[in-house]
Amino acid sequence: MTAHAVKRAGKVRTLVKNTLLYLVMTAIALLMVFPFLWLLSTSFKTASNVYAFPPQMIPNPATLDNYVGVTKMVPIWRYLKNTAIITALGVGLNVLFSTLAAYPLARMRFPGRDIIFGALLSTMIIPNGAGMIVNYMTLRTLRLTDTFLGVVLPSAATIFSIFLLRQAYTTIPKELEEAARIDGAGDLFIWWRIMVPLIRPTLLTVVIFDFMAHWNSFIWPVVVMKSPDNYPLAAGLLYLQGQFSYNFLYLAAGTVISITPMIILFLLLQKYFINGVAGAVKG
Amino acid sequence: MRTQAPARPAGRLRKWWSGINWRTTAVAYLFMLPALVIIALFVFWPIIYGLPLAFTNYSVVGETRWVGLANFRRLMHDPYFWDALKNSVLYVAVVPVIQIGSIILAVLVNRPLKGVGIFRTAYYLPVVTSSIAAGIAWKWLYDYKGIINAPLLEWGIIDKPIYFLSDNRIALWAVMAMTAWKGFGYYMVIYLAGLQSIPKELEEAAQIDGAGRLGVLRHVTIPLLRPFALIATLMSVMGALRVMEEVLAMTGGGADTNVVALYSYQTAFQHFEFGYGAALGWVMALIIFAFSLVTFRLNKGGFKPE
């Protein structure tokens, strides 16, 4: 065999190997995405072809009736508004409080720092069994049940975010801070105008994870909210499931409405979602 | 010597005391104040107050009394608790499935192939959706005339539909399948971070030293991946023992699928027995703690924080 032929044989082998790899990876990808695709397909079906065999991946005829129907029967838009309020309030508070709290933990020397850091760390190891019950009682004492603030307050400063942000602050060179101090900048100024802009990528990760947590939460809002009118979308689905289990088509349409914003956000920012988990583990 | 001895700690204390920058300290605590208040109130207070609560009959109605071990005695004779406990422990069987699956996914998407990002995205997609939405999607797959049953019935492989979510023998496993599916992407990313933290030179050096592909895997890749495996395993063990949303979404706890976390929730927020719910929560916490210790032990020697 000439050198050329050897090289070509190698190329062919790589090509075959890569093709096989792509096939396997595509098959797995389809399996992972299939439950949602099937639900999406179902949400456009009519009652008469919902159980058609062979199963229809692309509905024929396709209809928007289920979407119209579910929005008429259930206050989906109201749920969507509630979800938006809870998510915005929850993400806003956590980002603000965690960004503030992580800064001195990363960059200042003061008594009690290691104790506070250790105590925060320990809560990740100690499982907290009765948390939901006691937190509900606390909120009742504070007269915050049935309010949006009550839903978000227990997660208005999360230890996960504080760790991620602390890690980001520690990578900033000391000189920047010192130069600003010599120029007479105050602590809040240094934090807000110098530090916060520099940790923007981590901040975005925190925003994303928090957004996901609030958008998807449903048990805790059900506990805090007395009136179903105040439920977020995911909790609304749980409620809908109980009420309309006989009408799966409406339930499918409602579910698609509830996950679409989250999936769009994920597709736009998937790099940050994936790096966020990695960063938290490495951190 | 003797005269100096008591002076030394005092001196150290004084040195420590005078070394404190009080201005910085004040600023630091002001920065941390809102977060510390919230964490104290909603993370530490439940840990402190949850225990005494478990020794009361606290409920929405009636007077609250200290009942000693009554809740725990009741728990010993509560068949619902024992069923839930059995299911919670069985649920841990999902851990090896998730771990092996996510390692395979991580290895697949760790190659510099074109378009590999699309696959990472697809595998991660289930992670970002709510358990209730994912549960509804899976319920639909599992329907008695659904996409799993229909072809099996049509081709005569089975003559009766499989009632995935109402058959006592398989419902729990059917819910666990959904948990596994939802978890693969998350742990894939952890293992991906692990694989990418291994310096290429190390694997190449091992190859030059004559190690085959398996040798590299055994002597380089696996040992360096162990800290990541420990974290991932620990997280998924805790997740499995804590699971409640998936079960609530798919069966509501029926068909012999109830788990301790869900039972604790039902006790507190549906039957309004907070004291008993807290006792269940504490037993749960102890079990999670025990399982975590076992996981640590099994990985002994593998966890070396740099």
Give the mutation candidate from B13, B24, B38 for the A interface (greatest A CB count, under 10 A): B38
Instruction: Give me the count of residues in chain A.
Output: 283
pTM: 0.87
Give the mutation candidate from A74, A128, A260 for the B interface (greatest B CB count, under 10 A): A128
The DSSP H or E segment spanning B100 is: helix B94-109
CB A144 within 8 A of CB B279: no
Tell me which chain B residue has its CA closest to the CA of residue A35. Answer: B137
Tell me which chain B residue has its CA closest to the CA of residue A104. Answer: B28
CB contact under 8 A, A35 and B137: yes
Instruction: Spell out which residues of chain B touch residue A100, defining contact as CB-CB under 8 Å.
Output: 31-32, 34-35
How many Å separate Cα B154 from the centre of its chain? Answer: 39
Q: Count chain A–chain B contacts defined by CB atoms under 8 A.
A: 270
User: Residue B115: left (phi > 0), alpha (psi -120 to 50), or beta?
Assistant: left
Tell me which chain B residue has its CA closest to the CA of residue A226. Answer: B269
| pLDDT value of position B1 | 45
Per-residue pLDDT of chain B (306 residues; tens, 9 = 90+): 444 445 566 777 787 777 788 888 999 999 999 999 999 999 999 888 888 888 988 887 778 788 888 889 999 999 999 999 999 999 999 999 999 999 999 989 988 888 888 999 999 999 999 999 999 999 999 988 888 988 888 888 888 889 988 888 899 999 999 999 999 999 999 999 888 888 888 777 887 887 777 788 778 888 888 888 888 898 898 889 889 899 998 988 887 899 999 999 999 888 888 999 999 988 888 888 888 888 878 776 444 443
User: Residue B210: left (phi > 0), alpha (psi -120 to 50), or beta?
Assistant: left
Average pLDDT over residues A248-271: 90
Higher per-residue confidence, A27 vs A70: A27
| pLDDT value of position A186 | 85
| pLDDT value of position B305 | 41
CB A152 within 8 A of CB A89: yes
The alpha-carbon gap from B141 to the nearest alpha carbon of chain A, in Å, equals 7
| pLDDT value of position B306 | 34
Range in A167-176, A231-240, A273-282, B38-47 the model is least confident about: A273-282
Torsion of CA B28, A200, A123, A149, to 10 degrees: 90
Tell me which chain B residue has its CA closest to the CA of residue A241. Answer: B136
CB contact under 8 A, A234 and B133: yes
55-84 in chain B: CB under 8 A from chain A:
none
Task: Please report, for residues A141, B3, B126, B248, B263, the alpha-carbon distance to residue B257 in angstroms, rounded to integers and kept in the order given.
Answer: 34, 70, 22, 9, 10
Tell me which chain B residue has its CA closest to the CA of residue A210. Answer: B128
DSSP β-bridge partners for residue B59: B273
Reduce the DSSP state of residue A50 to 3 states and report it.
Answer: coil
CB contact under 8 A, A154 and B133: no
CB contact under 8 A, B136 and A157: no
79-118 in chain B: CB under 8 A from chain A:
105, 108-109, 111, 113, 117-118
Q: How many CA atoms lie within 13 A of A81 on its CB side?
A: 6
CB contact under 8 A, A266 and B128: yes
Tell me which chain B residue has its CA closest to the CA of residue A53. Answer: B150
Q: Does B303 touch chain A (CB under 8 A)?
A: no
Instruction: Spell out which residues of chain B touch residue A96, defining contact as CB-CB under 8 Å.
Output: 34
Higher per-residue confidence, A232 vs B205: A232
Degrees to nearest 5, angle at CA B79 with B75 and B81:
50
Instruction: Spell out which residues of chain B touch residue A98, defining contact as CB-CB under 8 Å.
Output: 35
DSSP β-bridge partners for residue A7: none
| pLDDT value of position A129 | 64
| pLDDT value of position B114 | 85
CB contact under 8 A, B284 and A129: yes
3-state secondary structure A80-134: HHHHHHHHHHHHHHHHHHHHHHHHHHHHCCCCCHHHHHHHHHHHHHCCCCCHHHH
CB contact under 8 A, B274 and A133: yes
Tell me which chain A residue has its CA closest to the CA of residue B305. Answer: A282
The span from the CA of B190 to the CA of A278, in Å, is 5
Instruction: Spell out which residues of chain B touch residue A116, defining contact as CB-CB under 8 Å.
Output: 32, 36
The 3-state DSSP composition of chain A as helix, strand, coil percent (nearest 5) reads 80, 0, 20
Instruction: Spell out which residues of chain A touch residue B36, defining contact as CB-CB under 8 Å.
Output: 101, 116, 157
The DSSP H or E segment spanning A216 is: helix A200-216
Non-local CB neighbours of A184 within 8 Å, separated by 6+ positions: none
Indicate the residue of B24, B35, B117 with minimum beta-carbon distance to A98.
B35
Q: Residue B65 has which token pair?
A: 């009394």
| pLDDT value of position B198 | 83
Give the mutation candidate from B13, B102, B136, B140 for the A interface (greatest A CB count, under 10 A): B136
CB contact under 8 A, A267 and B189: no
| pLDDT value of position A246 | 66
Indicate the residue of A97, A217, A252 with minimum beta-carbon distance to B38.
A97
**pLDDT bracket for residue A211 (50, 70, 90):** very high
The span from the CA of B169 to the CA of B192, in Å, is 36
CB A66 within 8 A of CB A252: yes
Tell me which chain B residue has its CA closest to the CA of residue A260. Answer: B129
